[in-house]
Structure 1
Amino acid sequence: MPLRVIEIIAPSEDKDEICKTLDEHRPDEGYVFWISSNEEEHSLTFKVVMDVKESENVLDRLESFFTWKDKYRIVVFPVEATIPRLKEIEEEPPAEDNQKNNQKKIQNRLSREELYTDVLDTCVLSRSYILLIIFSSIVAVIGLLKNNVAIIIGAMVLAPLLAPNVGLSLATTLGDNDLAKTSSKTLVVGILLAFAITFATGVFTGVDINENSSELISRASTDFSDIILAMVSGAAGIISFTLGVPTSLVGVMVALSLLPPLSACGLFLGAGHTSHAMGAATLFFANIICLNLSGVISFLLMGVQPLTWWKREEAKASSIKIIAIWGALLAILSALLYFGLVK
């Protein structure tokens, strides 16, 4: 796992208490730290080097310590390497007397704050996001009309609709209403804009359905293998994201395609092929449902939860409700597919 540096800027009068806190837990978590003074600002800077899997434990402890402080700042930096190397900490089962008191859990993933920051950066509705939607929609349209797999994959890799869905899943797990609103707004705008572009293209250019339209026609139907693929790909994507392995996400973007079926729906509907448009819409919404369902479950399995116990209870209740809603939608969709009521 990678390394992290946690930088703490705190008032000078808190030096002894912070040092005591860091010293007490250093043997368990194997980190090193040092202190530098900022004399002009009457503050101190603490720098802690540790394995990323320990960062959430330390960040939670520090955040609890600084809850009632006015002047502090905690910043997290990625680290390529450190010399000498940090020693690996061997986990030993706690004694029976200490089992109840030992609440520390090793999280083999990025910390909650890093996950939140990474998601928020890609979920904000911005000019860059709008441009990405426009360009990726154009790429998808060209690929579908030319029946060119390589071009379609290019639109898949851009994957502008993936991040807001991941943001929705994380917001559900953390019980964060602000993140949920931001992600929902970005997702809805992205869907409407992509659909408008592809619908207009279908109206003005038309769509010829023939033997050279296999890529387009393949997006006009859904079967149970598509649902299984979407569930597995969504879970794999969330796990890759929590582990900080961006290269693995490229494969997930290709496997779990959101933009091509949405683009196919717009093209078909604009050209007057209503039946095919409904089939493409079914595939798109099936992918959305499966991505969010598997996303919430995967975040929960990876131990992502709020810091405070009351927020955890609130997030747990909301997660159960959301899982039930997505699960019910998936059950309805599966029933419609089974009885042949949708393509």
Structure 2
Amino acid sequence: MRLVQVMVPTGKREAVVGVLDEEGIDYALSAESSNRQYAAIVTFPIPKAAVEHIMNRLRDVGIERDSYIVVLSAETVVSRRFDELEQEWEDENPDGENRIAREELIARAEEMAPETTTFVVMTVISALVATAGVLLDSPAVVVGSMVIAPLVGPAMTTSVGTIIDDREMFLRGAKLQVSGVLLGIVSAAVFAVILRTTSIVPLSGPEVFSIGEVESRLSPDVLSLVIALGAGAAGAFSLASGVSTALVGVMIAAALVPPMAVVGIGFAWGSPMAVLGSAVLVLVNVLSINAVALIVLWRMGYRPKLWVQQNEARSIMMTRVTTFAVILLILTSVLGVATYGSVRSAAFEEDARAAIDKALPPDASLVSMDVGYRSFPLLTPERITVTVGYPPGEPPPRVGDEIERRLNEQAPETIDPWREGGVQVELRYIAIERPGGAADSTAEDDPERPAVAARGVGPTPRSPAV
């Protein structure tokens, strides 16, 4: 509910009171004695969904921006008459009960877009925290970076500026979004370079890209699009409903901040192509959030104040939504290929395990198989590390060449024009004590055995590093 105060200009008192009487609204009328151009102050409580309608009625009788209309959020109204008014309004307007007034929407959107200094500082801090969290493989730290990221405001400001045909608001929101993404990536890259050069994170490129929080964002699929669409819809709906957007802001940041950190890490480790999937994910998420927010706000009935602007606003919105949709269609097709690559990779790993089992003698067993992939969006196996268990006291089975042959037969075709040779296979042996025996041992524990616990097999040439 809202408490509205109107400073009534001289000569408009009867018109304002007439509007409130027609709408059945109780009000308090106070005489104005400041010797200015105002004759009275009218205060009245109304339901949240009725604010825009009442403001339009007041505007029709001459209460324009040269007057003052103050809308406050009221915690509680104890009045049977108000309850009846609220119920009557909900019965007459069942679709508008959760919608705030256009002027409230504009004010909230402007407040959500922070000042430049605040935005820059918070974006840099969130990018640094996200980079540290990703490299530490700590989901808790990554979530913390989302909480402080100031990205929900610019996205909502851009959408509201489009809907109400406010070019200045649109440009401010768009500039903040673009600068926020670029600033986040650059901050993450600079921080990651410092960590790498000072050996605080003494890892090679493949080791960094195998970290769980990094690896999960190297090859996004179409499910990532659902997160962005949900974030944009939730952000617009919470903004238009007048509820807190804090938690929605975390969701929007979840779609943007971690991928930006991964892109920065890729540049820091000199492998920008390895994080191409993360860069695509950032772009897809930004466009998706803006497109769905525009649609939600338009469907909720928001339009420019003047009817002559509505056709122009509709044209601008349709142009921008169409542009977003075309770009999203192209990028989503890339994510679709990545999804197909994930399914194909899962099938390959299942077939590869079966092929290894067939190549092993009866007394040996497959302990583990780790596959390294490259070539986003269509994942292709590049390195396979196979760990084979064998009985203690027996020589390791010489099955390296056979396993390599079978794995290369099972490997899917690659679309990488720079890829040469087949899959690089590394075979590791580990002595496994059967039940009833002594403790487990490995080939390295026996000084009389050759050091075959980890070795490459076969003549397969090494592929270029990711």
Post-superposition offset of 1:39: 0.8
Contact kept in structure 1, 2:284 and 2:332, CA below 8 Å? no
- 1:298-341 CA-to-partner distances (Å, cap 9, x unmatched) read 11121111222111111111111111011001111122333458
Task: For 1:155 and 1:38, locate their aligned partners in 2 and report how far apart those are by CA, in whole Å.
Answer: 51
Alignment-derived partner of residue 150 in structure 1? 140
Range with greater deviation from structure 2 (249-258 or 143-152): 249-258
Post-superposition offset of 1:238: 1.5
Alignment-derived partner of residue 299 in structure 1? 297
Matches within 5 A, 1:19-58: 19-26=17-24, 31-42=25-36, 43=38, 44-58=40-54
Residues 1:180 and 2:165 aligned together: no
Post-superposition offset of 1:119: 1.1
Alignment-derived partner of residue 116 in structure 2? 126
Scaled by the length of structure 2, what TM-score is found?
0.65
Task: For 2:376 and 2:274, locate their aligned partners in 1 and report how far apart those are by CA, in whole Å.
Answer: 10
Range with greater deviation from structure 2 (227-236 or 265-274): 227-236
Scaled by the length of structure 1, what TM-score is found?
0.87
Q: Secondary structure at the match of 1:36?
A: strand
Range with greater deviation from structure 2 (318-327 or 223-232): 223-232
Unaligned runs of 5+ in 1: 95-102
1:16–1:192: structure 2 CA closer, same or farther, 3 Å change rule? same
Contact kept in structure 2, 1:134 and 1:193, CA below 8 Å? yes
Taking every aligned residue pair, what percent have the same amino acid on both sides? 25
Alignment-derived partner of residue 78 in structure 1? 73
Task: For 1:324 and 1:216, locate their aligned partners in 2 and report how far apart those are by CA, in whole Å.
Answer: 33
1:253 corresponds to which of 226, 250, 253: 250
Unaligned runs of 5+ in 2: 339-374, 378-466
Q: Secondary structure at the match of 1:49?
A: strand
Alignment-derived partner of residue 290 in structure 1? 288
1:222–1:105: structure 2 CA closer, same or farther, 3 Å change rule? closer
Task: For 2:173 and 2:65, locate their aligned partners in 1 and report how far apart those are by CA, in whole Å.
Answer: 30
Contact kept in structure 2, 1:119 and 1:166, CA below 8 Å? yes
Post-superposition offset of 1:183: 0.7
Task: Give the number of the structure whose alpha-carbon radius of gyration is greater.
Answer: 2
- 1:212-242 CA-to-partner distances (Å, cap 9, x unmatched) read 7111221222211111222123212221221
Letter paired with 1:162: V
Task: For 2:303 and 2:326, locate their aligned partners in 1 and report how far apart those are by CA, in whole Å.
Answer: 24
Alignment-derived partner of residue 264 in structure 2? 266
Task: For 2:304 and 2:102, locate their aligned partners in 1 and report how far apart those are by CA, in whole Å.
Answer: 8
Number of matched residues? 327
1:148–1:40: structure 2 CA closer, same or farther, 3 Å change rule? same
Contact kept in structure 2, 1:10 and 1:72, CA below 8 Å? yes
1:41–1:281: structure 2 CA closer, same or farther, 3 Å change rule? farther
Q: Secondary structure at the match of 1:54?
A: helix
1:66–1:222: structure 2 CA closer, same or farther, 3 Å change rule? farther
Letter paired with 2:250: M
RMSD: 2.5
- 1:160-180 CA-to-partner distances (Å, cap 9, x unmatched) read 122111111111111110101
1:221–1:49: structure 2 CA closer, same or farther, 3 Å change rule? same
Alignment-derived partner of residue 181 in structure 2? 191
Alignment-derived partner of residue 113 in structure 1? 103
Contact kept in structure 1, 2:50 and 2:89, CA below 8 Å? no
